[in-house]
Amino acid sequence: MTEELRAAVIGVGRIGSLHASIYRDDPRTRLVAVMDADPERSGAVGNEFGANAYTTVDELIANETLDVVSIATPESFRLEITRKCIDAGINMLLEKPLAPTLAESRSLIQAVKQSGLKSTVNFILRSDPRYVHAKQSVADGSVGELCTLFGRRRGTAAGAAILGEWTDLLISTAIHDLDAMIWLADAKVERVHAEGVMKQCAQWGHHDAVMAVLRFENGVIGSLETSWVLPSTVPAPLDASLQVVGTGGGVFVDGSNHGLSVVDDRRFSLPDLTHWPSGPTGVYGDLKFSVERFIRHLVDGDEAPMQLDDALYAEEIVAAVKESMAIEAPVRPSSTVR
């Protein structure tokens, strides 16, 4: 592999364009191309970052020699795109969710593993310094014997308005907190019981709010609260929290206040300084850390930020939460990877 990796991004909406910025600014990579089915978007992002612009994956692969690609399209397109990148021998950084159904996600992960390519899935909380510290505190015994975990991820109704037509609250948003709890508990989920509320998202058959309890095989109990309900007038764009409680202590993350408050003649706000803020030096925060960790995996052989089986297991637990809501009873998750 060359010292300077030739990178591309497939799907350059809000998240994909951030990937493009990170590849452009990292000295170990050169952003050579972007692809988006929307020609105006593809052309605009390509012009902004000095990269070739394409509107189909076939065109991209036929005209570029690539070492790594970020795939940030909606999940309904991801399986087909992934298979084409596998055939072309390109290492992949996949945004989640992997695919619209669990069966397709399992097929995707199996195909990537069989290819032998270096690939990962972007779960940014595993690169968030606060969550990494919580993981270390559990692993080194600082909190004693782990008892309970609580994860909250409250967005506004804007999430439903933007994403509701083609994805849902659990698989696009709450999956981060489910994965974080699985990661911290370091155990298989034994039982899931969930309840949901459908209001504005009922038109798509999705839930606006979900609460779930997870029982792990090692006795740890996890609790999830997530929603796309609050109006856009709330100060924080995302109200997130992690609470870790053990017999010897705890770790508590307040994700809705990053130490910066802004007030103007329109509103009071608490801007996000953690996940993917942008400034004079480009994109920083958790997303940059995650992409950089994958680049180190490719260049230096460091451990990937997320194992493929772990990404699939998070989707299997999402499926269990949905099943519990559908049958209005606890369920025992089925898994092919743990």
What is the C-alpha separation between 201 and 225, in angstroms, rounded? Answer: 17
pLDDT digits (tens, 9 = 90+) for 152-177: 999 999 888 888 888 999 999 999 99
User: What angle (nearest 5°) sits at the alpha carbon of residue 68, between those of residues 65 and 74?
Assistant: 110
Domain 125-275+306-327 has CATH 3.30.360.10: yes
**Residue 211 φ then ψ, to 5°:** -125, 135
Residues 6+ apart with CB under 8 A from 160: 169, 200, 201, 206, 208, 228
Report in angstroms the alpha-carbon separations of 52 from 28, 30, 61, 153, 177.
Answer: 19, 12, 12, 37, 36
pLDDT value of residue 253? 95
Dihedral-angle region of residue 89 (phi above 0 means left; psi in -120 to 50 means alpha; beta otherwise)? left
Q: Can you list the alpha helix ranges (DSSP code H) found in the chain?
A: 14-25, 39-49, 57-63, 78-87, 102-115, 129-139, 157-163, 169, 175-185, 286-300, 308-327
Q: CA neighbours within 13 Å on the CB side: how many for 32?
A: 16
Long-range Cβ contacts of 73-76 (<8 Å, 24+ apart): 73/10, 73/11, 73/16, 74/11, 74/166, 74/167, 75/99, 75/100, 75/167, 75/171, 76/100, 76/166
Determine the pLDDT at residue 337: 84
Q: Give 258: exposed, middle or buried? Use CB within 10 Å, 0-12, 13-18, 19+.
A: middle
- Residue 255, pLDDT score: 83
Which pLDDT belongs to residue 1?
46
Three-state secondary-structure class, residue 71: strand
pLDDT of amino acid 164: 87
Q: Which amino acid is at 132?
A: V
Domain coordinates in residue numbering, the chain: 5-117, 125-275+306-327
Q: What is the CATH number of domain 5-117?
A: 3.40.50.720
Residue type (1 letter), 58: D
What pLDDT tens digit does each residue of the chain (338 aa) get?
A: 457 999 999 999 999 999 999 999 999 999 999 999 999 999 999 999 999 999 999 999 999 999 999 999 999 999 999 999 999 999 999 999 999 899 999 999 999 999 999 999 999 999 999 999 999 999 999 999 999 999 999 999 988 888 888 899 999 999 999 999 999 999 999 999 999 999 999 999 999 999 999 999 999 999 999 999 999 888 888 899 999 999 999 999 988 778 889 999 888 998 888 999 988 889 999 999 999 999 999 999 999 999 999 999 999 999 999 999 999 999 999 888 87
Residue 210, CA atoms < 13 Å, CB-side half-sphere: 32
Q: Which burial class, exposed, middle or buried, applies to 265 when counting CB atoms under 10 A from its CB (0-12, 13-18, 19+)?
A: exposed
Pairwise CA distance, residues 259 & 248, whole Å: 28
Interatomic CA distance for residues 271 and 34, integer angstroms: 28
